[in-house]
Amino acid sequence: MSTLALEAINVSKRFGDLQALDKVSLQLRQGSIHALLGENGAGKSTLVKCIVGFYVPDDGEVLLGERQQAIANPRDAHDLGIGMVYQHFTLIPNMTVLENLVLARPHLPAVIDWRKEREAIGARMQKMPFQLPLDVSVNQLAAGEKQKLEIVKQLLLNVKVLILDEPTSVLTPNEADEVLGRIRDMTRDSGLSVLIITHKFREVMTYADDVTVLRRGKHAGSARVADTNIKFLAELMVGSEFTSTALARESVAEQTLKLEIDTLKVADDSGKAAVKGLSLQVRGGEVVGIAGVSGNGQRELVEALAGQRPQFYGEIRIMGEAYAGQRADLLRHGFHCLPEEPLRNAAVGRMSVAENLAFRRFDRQPFSFGGWLRRGAMRAAATQAIADFNVRPPVPGIPIGNLSGGNVQRAILARELSERPNVLVVANPCFGLDFGAVSEIHARIMAARNAGTAVLLVSEDLDEILELADRILVMSGGRLVYETTPTEADPVIIGRHMAGHGEETHAH
């Protein structure tokens, strides 16, 4: 019987009418990695937030080692050596890496000696599993680097227990292997104990020692990973009710040219070129997949398409007409877009789900009449979309920021997919979704394609691209560097182009 680093016993938490956690227990063994699995909205984030004192549980207790500990707030948790990386980034975007690392400390001196801090943190950074440039502003970091920074931030605080809420959602499989591999080394070498939430069975099977599954707020089961298998875990997650919704690719007769991008150049936040003269075309009834490692201009490309970032050269045309990304253009052309990090980029957290769902059309019929917002109509449409996309809880009136991470994603997808789009741009649509939802969303994207929508799918998940795309393009260093089809695609060659080494074989 190994020692426990942390134990949660019969933790319950209720939000209004919703019993988010119902007597949930979990044991984290010292020096191990414990995975926490469950569908979107199962209560995973709520449980770890109760453990670190972000929420006060209604009932139950948290023990640290043998001792019961009252953890009333995240600062208590920190003083006890528990650190947490939240599901959404908590970095301050317009500050540097160094500033973020220093300001993360709960006890700061009145005057900060930045030169001394820089030296001290620089020295300790050498021993961290990942190195990050101290003087770069956070908003210039790619998603994967931000995630590494969140983890380093906790490790520099000397935590003994590290809690990670879906750290790999924003990472490519290679990055995830790097991060989890390094973390596993730390559990073996320095006795770090890790509780990690993930939706990826592969990561559970490869890196975790133990696993606990939650189902609708209840403890569904726990096991040693060595004694279990994916099928068993999937059944614990959803019961035996799961049926795959995979949809076949149909041949589409008439393929009009719907989206054209012509030598597009877009700058990143610092003014440097991020998209460097990119051209592509998407026809109706076609999914064009852009594969690539995050930070190669995908975000800037999608933001330019969504009208959220100016283009400084080139042209975007929809149905042959120049498109400037204004809301009127979006509506007229049936252009829909799902950007990355929807809670930050495509939703207003404190506004209700219904209001967020109505964003595209809040000033049009039937939501507006003579300048008045018609809340009844808005709510009715929201209720329908919530039912169609299985957003939980199915309550239009609650702030969207109170939904679980995966349910925010579903709600935004409901908004962008409910009217049939003419052109659809999606970036990492299944980020943070449980496996049932992934198969559902893939079916919806395929259905839109089969019905004639032109789909541009930007994704770091190569499996997703191989499943959905008719043509695959690889983006690296702001350019499209390779094109192939799903039938001819070789993951090794694609991976090489993603890493920017596509021409290696021809080099002298």
Ligand X SMILES: Nc1ncnc2c1ncn2[C@@H]1O[C@H](COP(=O)(O)OP(=O)(O)OP(=O)(O)O)[C@@H](O)[C@H]1O
Only one residue has tokens 């990695």, namely 33
The nearer residue to ligand X, 14 or 361, going by C-beta atoms, is 14
- Quote the least distance from Cβ 285 to Mg ion, whole Å: 35
What stretch of H or E contains 375?
helix 375-388
Q: Residue 126 in 3-state DSSP?
A: coil
Which of 478, 54, 410, 464 is closest to 266 using CA atoms?
A: 478
Q: Which stretch binds Mg ion (CB under 5 A): 45-53, 226-234, 348-356, 481-489?
A: 45-53
Nearer to Mg ion, 14 or 374 (CB): 14
Q: Which residues are CB-contacts of 9 (< 8 A; sequence separation ≥ 6)?
A: 25, 60, 61, 62, 63
Residue among 156 and 164 whose Cβ is closer to Mg ion: 164
Coil vs helix vs strand at 61: strand
Q: Residue 353: left if φ>0, alpha if ψ -120 to 50, beta else—which one? A: alpha
Residue 156 backbone class (left: φ over 0; alpha: ψ -120 to 50; beta: rest)? alpha
Among the listed residues 31, 83, 295, 405, the single contact to Mg ion using CB under 5 A: 405
CB 454 within 8 A of CB 423: yes
Quote the least distance from Cβ 433 to ligand X, whole Å: 8
From the CB of 196, what's the least distance to ligand X, in Å?
13
Q: Which residue is nearest to ligand X (CB)?
A: 406
Please give the distance of CA 68 from its chain centroid, rounded to a whole number: 34
Which of 28, 29, 31, 45 contacts Mg ion by CB under 5 A?
45
Q: Is 46 in the site for Mg ion (CB under 5 A)?
A: no
Tell me how far, at minimum, the Cβ of 500 lies from Mg ion, in Å.
Answer: 33
Answer with the entry of ligand X, Mg ion, none that 168 interacts with (C-beta below 5 to 8 A by kind): none
H or E segment at 464? helix 462-468
In angstroms, the CA 256 to CA 286 distance is: 10
Integer Cα distance of 302 and 308 in angstroms? 9
Q: Which is nearer to ligand X, 51 or 445 (CB)?
A: 51
Residue 369 CA: distances (Å) to CA of 362, 381, 383, 431, 475: 10, 16, 20, 37, 45
62 three-state secondary structure: strand
Q: Which does 176 bind (CB under 5 to 8 A by kind): ligand X, Mg ion, none?
A: none
Footprint of ligand X on this chain (CB under 6 A)? 15, 18, 20, 38, 40-46, 87, 392-393, 402-407
Of 32 and 212, CB closest to ligand X: 212
- Site size with Mg ion, rule: CB under 5 A: 4
407 binds, among Mg ion, ligand X, none (CB under 5 to 8 A by kind): ligand X
SS3 assignment, position 185: helix
Give whichever of 45 and 147 is closer to ligand X, judged by the CB atom.
Answer: 45
CB of 18 to ligand X, least distance (A): 6
In the bound complex, what is the minimum distance in angstroms from residue 215's beta carbon to ligand X? 10
Min separation Cβ 195 and Mg ion, Å:
13
Residues in region 77-106 near Mg ion by CB under 5 A: 87
Instruction: Report the partner that residue 422 touches, choosing among ligand X, Mg ion, none (CB closer than 5 to 8 A by kind).
Output: none
Considering the complex, state which of residue 15 and residue 369 has its C-beta at the smaller distance from ligand X.
15
Binding site for Mg ion (CB under 5 A): 45, 87, 404-405
